[in-house]
Amino acid sequence: MITILRLNHRSKRDKRVSTHVGLVSRAFGATDLVYSGEKDEVLEDSIKKVVKRWGGSFKINYSKDFIKTIKLYKKKGFIIIHLTMYGLELDKTVKNIDSKKNLLIVVGGEKVPREVYDLSDFNLSITNQPHSEIAALALTLDRLKKGEEFNIDFKNANLKIKPSNGSKEFY
């Protein structure tokens, strides 16, 4: 089980970035997204619509207090992984993460409090350069899933694409 925790969502400014975080989480095999910050029905609905159309059982939930949420998951035995540009190098570190255990991946942004770094078992960086939490999450899930994210069978899908070099085909 892999839960993604998105911190400090702001419904106006972050709408598209948080939606991308949610969709990447689903497409790359996470179980669910928990987000904190501003509660946002539009974000929740856009994720739910994708699940309905494209299948699977991905969930989105809101957390009022992300520190509480991290502590709760830690108590439940989840490994806590925090994505930060200051963190340890992904490819050198991922082998130390037991990906058969339950994981909580914390996707921050600016102004992440000290406590998140301290509560995390792994502070992980993807290139140590400024870029995108969406890309960081995708690469992390890719390494944890070892490329198996490309073979997920999304149950109960209304739409399923047939890969093609130039047209839009469905099964």
Neighbouring CB atoms inside 10 A of 81's CB total: 24
CB of 156 to its own copies, least distance (A): 14
Give yes or no for residue 68 binding its own copies (CB under 8 A). Answer: no
Give yes or no for residue 88 binding its own copies (CB under 8 A). Answer: yes
CB of 119 to its own copies, least distance (A): 10
Nearer CB in complex with its own copies: 63/84:
84
Contact region with its own copies (CB under 8 A), list: 2-10, 59-67, 100-108, 136-144: 136-144
Contact region with its own copies (CB under 8 A), list: 11-19, 30-38, 60-68, 101-109: 11-19
Give yes or no for residue 79 binding its own copies (CB under 8 A). Answer: no
Nearer CB in complex with its own copies: 64/162:
162
Contact region with its own copies (CB under 8 A), list: 16-24, 36-44, 70-78, 100-108: 16-24
Radius of gyration of the chain (CA): 16
Query: Is the distance from CB of 135 to CB of 126 less than 8 angstroms?
Result: yes
